[in-house]
Homo-oligomer: A and B are copies of this chain.
């Protein structure tokens, strides 16, 4: 009987590129930019950009300039936009890696005008209803004609694009059209992330910014996911043992066995980025006779282990692997069980060093 101790994360770059290509088709003729901020949603920006660049992607979005520096070697001829913009702590990185800051406030524009690289044309973010980063209409009124013409792109961001019928979509679209017509009539524009792509052509403008959907997340949950799952997360069973009736399980003894049960201790926990909110809520998927069995997590998720109910399984034993993410239990499924969104889930999971991590290209 083989024994293993280490959780395994497999990332399918081939399917990621296929997702990108489908989103690119849906976006055309708009440019399809790839959003690889937050270390490509935790999955490894270097590897992801390497694959996308080979597939022809020449426009990228990161949040921080430091992330742009990291990917520049893998995308030498690409334009890399920095969504958090630029400050004293990131100016050197912007210049060094020839990044395009997205200027988000009048203060930041002043800073860029004083300290920026004249060879770089920044983009500008404007406020259309999210009330996050971006110039308000009043801010824009104070800019000179020369300043307004200095931007390579005008950008805004939708707040509710994952709900096709949400009133905010048309509200923001109207605001964007109005502000663009008034201040940026000739500047290329970008409004939509993945979820906006599915809202239709009128949301695409000159460039779409493809993130979550590329990573397999269903950003249009009002209909079946058109994207392929790109992740497989599994962890080995360290021990299978009987749980006598009346015994407690895990920290704070939150689960008590109502009858004699069989439990498996699986070598993964919140220290691996698995949400602790899966305590008594999530599942581990085991396969017997090629059929998936959803085995409930019992009690609290601990830092390195989870305990699950395998009473229904006949053959499970030490060394078997249980699945936390795969085609049968997707990132959206596990995120729902954890009470969060798949974006946060994969961001925390992907960065961990404890996995045996493989990329399928």
On A, residues with C-beta under 8 Å from B are 1-6, 37-39, 41, 63-67, 83-90, 104-105, 107-108, 110-111, 127, 129-134, 136, 139, 159-160, 162-163, 166, 168, 236, 238-239, 241-243, 247-253, 263, 265, 267, 270-271, 273, 276-277, 302-305, 307, 317-319, 339-341, 343-344, 347-348, 351-354, 356
Contacts and interface: CB of A to CB of B under 8 A. Distances in A.
Nearest to A38: B271
Contacts of A354: 38, 63-64, 66-67
Given A2-B88, A65-B5, A340-B276, A131 B270 contact: no
A344 B87 contact: no
Interface of chain A, main secondary structure: loop
Which of A90, A303, A319, A341 has most chain B Cβ within 10 Å? A303
A131 B88 contact: no
B348 A265 contact: no
A338 to B, nearest CB: 10
A90 B270 CA distance: 20
Contact of A89 (B5, B252, B339): B5
Nearest to A241: B136
Contact of A168 (B2, B89, B253, B351): B253
B347 A270 contact: yes
Nearest to A347: B271
Contacts of A252: 159-160, 162-163
Contacts of A3: 86-88, 107-108, 111
Contacts of A317: 107
Given A2-B88, A90-B6, A356-B89, A304 B83 contact: yes
Given A238-B85, A239-B107, A132 B270 contact: no
A49 to B, nearest CB: 15
A305 B83 CA distance: 11
A318 B348 CA distance: 29
Nearest to A301: B344
10 contacts: A1-B110, A5-B65, A41-B271, A84-B238, A84-B305, A105-B241, A130-B249, A133-B265, A273-B348, A351-B353
A110 B2 CA distance: 10
Contacts of A127: 241
A192 to B, nearest CB: 14
A42 to B, nearest CB: 8
Given A5-B84, A39-B353, 17 more contacts: A3-B111, A4-B90, A5-B86, A5-B87, A6-B87, A63-B271, A84-B304, A105-B239, A107-B239, A129-B247, A129-B248, A139-B241, A160-B251, A160-B253, A163-B252, A166-B253, A303-B347
Contacts of A249: 130-132
